[in-house]
Amino acid sequence: MRELSANELDEICWKHLSSLPYFRGMLRGVEHSLYARFDIPGPILDIGAGDGHFAQAYLTGQQVLGIDPWWQPLHEAADRKVYTLLVQADGSALPLPERSFAYAMSNSVLEHIPQVQQVLNEVGRAMAPGGLFYFAVPNQRFRTDLWGMQVLNALGLPGLATRYERFFNRISRHVNLDPPEVWLARLKLAGFSRVEYWNYFPKWAMQMLERGHAAGLPNLLWKKTLGKWVLFPSRNNPFLHYQKIRKLLDDPLCEDGTCTFYAARRDA
């Protein structure tokens, strides 16, 4: 992983905070700063293109094939004019020949997919020998370290704490909140046996994101009515928490991080 300059981190942080609710921009900014530390020249296979926001911030100017099963976000992604090609397809049945890509990525997507092993198998099939697959996912700490759970447990309400955890991860559509050893086993089955990984996003940041789901409701209103998540994009806007989030990008890795970033090399 290479070091990023202060100016590079400033730009990355602001790209996301100026266009997303702060709690989403915080996580996307950290993830962006992790991918940017690697040399990923492309062409790139992007599993879970979504609305294209992340690609617009990170992949502009590169050759990228975006895959997503949902038409509506793909339509928005097409309007951003970042992807070389967008294809509506399920990740478990990629319409690609074998060994067709040297680089693939999937950002905050695989945790939502019930049939994730099938998707990993398909990515492995589409990767050239020695190809690199980068992805970021939340880990098991999203089941144990939530702020709401801690409050309810402190009040002597463990039953409500458990229900809260299930509720939060259900509305977040989290299916696979697993430790690295589970992902390593999945990747090995898919043909990736050389894997490095790093935990990131400390507990305080995850809890800030958690509380932001409620604090960010006005952003949803503005998006629905005015077409923008952020009405006053200024680094001095106290509701964007720029300074606090920018410091997080300086040193995003931590052993007890609540998310994990993987770099997996396809077997020869």
> What value does the mean pLDDT take over residues 203-229?
85
What is the predicted pLDDT for the residue at 223? 76
Class of domain 6-266: alpha beta
Which has the minimum average pLDDT: 6-10, 144-148, 193-197, 236-240?
A: 236-240
- Enter the pTM of the model: 0.94
Q: Name residues whose C-beta falls within 8 Å of residue 147's C-beta, 6 or more positions apart in sequence.
A: 207, 210, 211
Q: Is the pLDDT of residue 83 over 90?
A: yes
Report the distance separating Cα 179 and Cα 262, nearest Å.
12
Q: Which two tokens stand for residue 16?
A: 């996301």
Q: Is the pLDDT of residue 58 over 80?
A: yes
Report the distance separating Cα 52 and Cα 59, nearest Å.
10
